[in-house]
Amino acid sequence: MRPERVVDVTGSGPGGGTVFGSGCLVGDGLVLTARHVVVDAASGRAARGLAVRSLEDDRARPCEVAWAGTDRLDAALLRVVDPQGSRAGPVRWGQVASATGKVACEAIGFPRAMAQTHGPDAGTRDTERFTGRVNAGTGLLGGRLHVSADDQVPERGGWQGMSGAALWAGELLIGVIVADPPAWRARRLVAEPVSLLWAEPGFREALGPGAVLESVEFAGPPRVAASSPAYLLRADAQTVRFRSRVRELVSLTRWCDGGGLRVRLLTGPGGQGKTRLAEELCQRLEQTPDPGPRVEERWFTTWWNDRPAGGGHGRSRALERPDGPVLVVLDYAETRPDVVAEVVGLAHRAAAAGATVRVLLLARSAGDWWQRLMESDGLLEQVLDGALVEELAPLETEPGAVPVAYDEALADLDAALTTMGWPHHPPSAVPPLDDRAAGRFTGPGAALSLQMNALAALLGEDAEPEPATGTRGPVNSPRPPDPPVEPGEGVGPGGPVEEVILRHERRYWRNSARHHGLTLTDLTLRRAVAVATLCGASGEDQAVALLEQVPRLGDQSEDVRLALARWLRDLYPPAGTPAPDRFRATPPSPASPSGGPSPGGWHDGGPVDSAAHNAYWSPLQPDRLAEHLVASMVSECPGWLRQLAGHTSPDQDFQALTVLARAWVRHHEILPEVVAMIAAQPAVAAIAMRVATQSEDPTVLLSGLTALLRDTGLPLLEATALADLLPQRTRALSGFAVDITSSLAGMFERLAASAPDTYLPILANVLNKLSVRLGAAGRSEEGLAANRRAASIYQRLAEDHVHLAAFADALNNQSNLLGHLGRHEEGLATIRRTVEIRERLVGTDPDAASSSALANSLTSMSNILASLGRYEEGLITSRRANAIHERLAESAPDAHLPDLAASLNNLSIHLGELGRYEEGLAAILRAVEIRERLAGTDPDAHLPDLAGSLSNLSIRLGELGRHEEALAPAERATRTYERLAETDPAAYLPGLAYSLNNLTTRLYLLSRYEEALVAGQRAVQVCERLAEAAPDAHLHHLAAALNNLSAPLRELGRLDEGLAVVLRAVHVYEPQAAANPDAHLHRLAGLLNNVADLAGELGRRDEAVAVLRRAIGIYEPLMETHPDRFSLDLFRCYLTGDKLAPIPDPRERATLLISTLTIALDRGHEPMAEAAAQRLHDLHRTHPTEVTQTWRELTETDPPDWLLQN
């Protein structure tokens, strides 16, 4: 609140008496006051002789009514006839967004209680500063704001004259004081809210264009006036007009439709236009034309910084209980996962209470950070799993549109530079873009590239005279500029466009440095800006200490470094701190592109990088310019980064590595210096591991981590500590995890050679861990080799009972690796040995740990038995494991629930394979419920397991014919595995293949054949990739995928393709079935049935009949021993035979079709049931008596209507 806006309002009423009240300058010559102060309620006529007088100008200035308010709105606007001396610029208008809570506010006016009683000013009213709180839940029916006073209040009637005073909440004007309710004895004032005024077209017309209604709780700092050329390139400066992006804006606007919570992640390289697009969306939602009088009809928008930056009141509370729909934008999301989690949690609670919330996340990529974010919390996994993730396309994709965009950028930047008084070339002196140049601005990051080139062309190379502060410098320079080029290419003698812009930015640095009494060289100032941008500082002491590390500043006095720190803070102030006026080239016009509200209005907080937000200073922006400056300093000062790393805090190291990882994408030359920085400091390496999971491209960080191991001879203790910091499961760091564990194995190998008694057990433990890391990285063969070494050591040590449990652990891991490689017989032999050892251990010491280990081995054993088709044995083993886990989980659920979930998952598979579908469903429902809870608290460990259980749940539901229900878990499992496989394909492609195969079946059974075809084709592609690398493990999966793919191909009429893929599946499966008939023979029979069906439809009847007889010959013996499991498959073959060679006897054929229909309906196989029903109906048309009699005999019911209809 600025007292210079406060005015005294006077005039003459209809009866000749004096009217008086308070008011506020809300623009140049525009005063807000109460209607009843200036308009007579009875006649509706304005007071005569209206005048206002400000605190800074004692003259009464005549004014007239610009907007008289309405009978129901006690507010008015006055316009000063001669606004000279009444210039105040526009205010920021606000409204309360929260439906609950209290908002602190204040007002300054001229109440009667402040009338002077003595001296020359007797009778004159002085000002009173009123402070109080608005209770958001009070006055809902009347729509007014009720403000309870904080301090002592005058006697009754003493507030008279306060009417018309502006009510402020922070920097936002939220209402106008209009009444002093008698019942409250002066303890409460009432105000008309701005939100109601906003609904009046006359009010907004009087304000003029550009006014925006913000929310008190979500308000950010005011837009800082442009102070240097670099500022004009910031997205929140909105210097260059918004263009294109029609499709994207339509999509985003439609995304905002409807209720509830929706999250969207918009990615793209730096300079692509993400932030500007989000700014435009905010403005369009805020400036909905002619909104109704209800607050709920308007959107609140906010840019969510780490903490509100000047103006936000109760932001979190407002998001939890908003009084209307809210759009939250969060930039640099990849560096702020904790903030994303906070926002999503608040938004989810708001949506649960009925609010409409949209969360728009902006990031450079949706990489490892996105997956880790979803895995960090159950709620986040639930909400973000359905988030729309899209990459923003380049702004201009056709070279023909680039010249228009370039000319617009030239014109807008020229206007802004002229307003600033910055010397530059006129647009007419800039050569137009030719076709070759235009083609460079259609790729990634081209939006910012084009603007940077336009700015560099206007600035040129020779505008050396510096404008004096507050004066206009020469606009036209002597010679035309060089033609624009892409960053990194030369601009005549000036080098890259970044250098041209930085050269002019340097004049801003030099000019402002003089005001701080600094006489440092340009090079030193440049390096100071670079290190401030690279590291940031949390406070003045840290800033001074950081600057000591700048070359040539270490020898300077602390006073000089303190002055330099304060110079940097004034140069690029943190969010919410305007730059001092003395550093601006000229005071900007309130409506100019570089100051005050532009046509786009104020923004709510703007994009601020998390690492720099609310710090001592802000970094140079935009990022592209900052990254170039940092990269140039790193290249100019070899060894400096390495030295710097020893004098910075962990937070500064985190920011520095984040900036360096981004800079490396365009400046590969910094790689050796960044590598040396990481390799020199294990503590920095630990932070690099964190940053790598968030980076758009962590290559430079991974190179540093690799060098740390390869070149530095990392000591054993430090290597062990670093390895312990690695998450148990990681995708971005999976290679490094293998490397460092392998390095540790080598160290302990050497130690064990000289002191085996001490180090052999440790070596075996590390080798076993290495085998797990290799297996998780998809390198199962290497993992098996490491494991065999660990097992051989443990076997020698196992004579000592102490190491027997560790030996069993190694054997258990070995059986899992053998299973991954498809070597199930070897795996079974290994796991039997493991079970034997663990049974002995339980016999001698039946504690929880040994019992749990035994149950885990039994679960592994049941898995291998299932892979070998020995389901009865697998079921017995699985039940035994499950019983142990149930008992353990009952006494210690936190420790044993994960193992119980695994055993339930396996139990459901065995039950399903044996046709006991209801029992199988009950088991998998329990497993999913447990794993949902586990993934909610530790998703990194349990999300992949949950995805597997969801696939199994889908299969169990499908077996019971509940196909609609089965689709949702199949889709969720597939989405989860897709995200996992993106960053760690070796580990998660098998799970993706499994889920895609299942999804193909679910879609096919719902007659969604086109979608089933797409899923099936993807499943085949994944399985082909897996089978090529490990045929023993994955060939049967490929055959299953090929078989599933044939089904939608057949339904879509692509019979030749369908037959080709299923014949290929038979070719793959023949050797599998011969080697392991228990596991694969029945699946081969299913393939043969499909071959017969397709061959028959293609007219190849004899071939089809021969193949079908083979399939029936396999299924009939299986049916005798396992009727529940194989009856559906056998009758499917019978149905195929009926199509190829129908049984001549109508009663026999009716018996077959009715039996097939009954089984298909029981199992929920709709395509099979429909086929049987159609043929039975056709048979009834020709042989009604036989079909009717057979139906009654078999079902003991009358035939249904659909059968009897012709």
Q: What ranges do the domains of the chain cover?
A: 3-208, 245-391, 642-654+670-726, 752-844, 1142-1206
> Residue 168 carries which side chain, given as an amino acid letter?
W
* DSSP states along 150-217: SS--PSTTTTTT-TTPEEEETTEEEEEEEE--GGGTTSEEEEEEHHHHTT-HHHHHHH-TT--EEETT
* Bridge partners of residue 360, in order along the sequence: 264, 329
The answer to whether the CB of 973 falls within 8 A of the CB of 951 is: yes
Q: Do residues 947 and 991 make contact, with C-beta atoms less than 8 angstroms apart?
A: yes
What CA–CA distance (Å, rounded) separates 444 from 24?
Answer: 48
For 443, counting Cβ atoms within 10 Å of its Cβ (0-12 exposed, 13-18 middle, 19+ buried), the class is: middle
Give the fold, CATH level 3, of 3-208. Thrombin, subunit H (2.40.10)
Rounded Cα distance, 30 and 1061, in Å: 78
Residue 897 and residue 930 in contact, taking contact as beta carbons nearer than 8 Å: yes
**How confident is the model at residue 117, as a pLDDT?**
66
Q: Answer whether 348's CB lies under 8 Å from 259's CB.
A: no
SS3 annotation, 109-163: ECCHHHECCCCCCCCCECCEEEEEEEECCCCCCCCCEEEEECCCCCCCCCCCCCC
| Predicted pLDDT of residue 495 | 55
Strands 172-179 and 92-95: parallel
Question: At 786, which helix (H) or strand (E)?
Answer: helix 780-797
Distances (CA, A) of 513 to 420, 530, 554, 618, 1183: 19, 15, 18, 17, 103
Evaluate whether the domain defined by 245-391 bears CATH number 3.40.50.300. yes
What's 1035's DSSP letter? H
> Distance from CA of residue 1057 to its chain's centroid?
41
- Cα separation, 871 vs 1117, whole angstroms: 17
| Helix extents (H) in 376-496 | 378-384, 402-420, 435-438, 446-459
Residue 663 pairs in a beta bridge with: none
pLDDT for the residue numbered 1073: 80
Alpha-carbon 152 to chain mean position: 49
Q: Which two tokens stand for residue 172?
A: 């936002």
- Determine the Cα–Cα distance for residues 306 and 574; give it in Å rounded to an integer: 12
What gap in Å lies between CA 850 and CA 808, rounded to an integer? Answer: 11
Q: Are 308 and 170 a contacting pair, CB within 8 Å?
A: no
Alpha carbon 943 to chain centroid, angstroms: 18
DSSP category for residue 539: S
Name the token pair of 1146: 């109508």
Q: What letter represents residue 467's amino acid?
A: P
Listed in order, strand segments (DSSP E) in 1-154 are: 6-12, 18-27, 30-33, 48-54, 57-67, 76-80, 92-95, 102-109, 128-135, 145-149
Structure tokens at 64: 């007239």
Q: What is residue 846's three-state secondary structure?
A: coil
> Is the Cα torsion angle 11, 13, 16, 22 positive or negative in sign?
negative
Per-10-residue mean pLDDT, the chain, length 1206 = 85 83 91 92 87 84 92 92 74 81 87 73 78 78 83 71 90 91 79 90 87 80 73 83 84 88 88 87 71 53 65 68 88 86 89 90 79 74 79 74 86 89 88 76 77 87 39 33 35 64 88 86 93 92 93 88 91 63 33 31 33 67 91 93 90 93 91 91 89 83 87 83 80 84 92 91 93 85 93 84 86 90 88 91 82 87 84 89 87 80 89 88 92 72 86 93 92 89 79 93 92 94 87 82 90 90 86 77 83 85 83 81 75 81 84 83 76 86 88 88 82
Cis preceding linkage at 990, omega within 30: no
Give pLDDT tens digits for 552-604: 888 888 899 999 999 998 888 876 554 444 333 332 333 333 333 232 222 23
Q: Where are the alpha helices (DSSP H) in 332-445?
A: 337-352, 368-375, 378-384, 402-420, 435-438
d(CA 237, CA 684): 35
Task: Give every CB contact of residue 663 below 8 A, 6+ residues apart in sequence.
Answer: 627, 628, 630, 631, 634, 670
**Encoded tokens for 528:** 């100071």
Q: How far is CA 228 from the centre of its chain?
A: 33
DSSP 587: P
Give the whole-angstrom CA distance, residue 233 versus residue 413: 9
* 107 strand-pairing partners: 130
- Output phi, psi for 979, to 5 deg: -65, -40
| Whole-number pLDDT of residue 359 | 95
On whether the CB atoms of residues 1082 and 1118 are closer than 8 A, the answer is yes
All residues at 6 or more sequence positions from 971 whose CB lies less than 8 Å from its CB, including other chains: 999
Cβ neighbours, 10 Å, residue 126: 11
**β-pairing verdict for 357-363 and 57-67:** unpaired
- Name the residue among 484, 368, 377, 357 with its Cα closest to residue 433: 484
How far is Cα 983 from Cα 973, in angstroms, rounded to an integer? 16
CB 424 within 8 A of CB 460: yes
Predicted pLDDT of residue 1132: 80
**Sole residue written with tokens 């290597």:** 719
Taking Cα atoms as reference points, which of 593, 599, 621, 600 lies closest to residue 239? 593
C-alpha pair distances (Å), 313 with each of 133, 386, 974: 12, 31, 42
Q: Please tell me the CATH code under which domain 752-844 is placed.
A: 1.25.40.10
- Of 1009, 1087, 1088, 1015, the C-alpha closest to 1054 is 1009
For residue 794, give the 3-state DSSP assignment.
helix
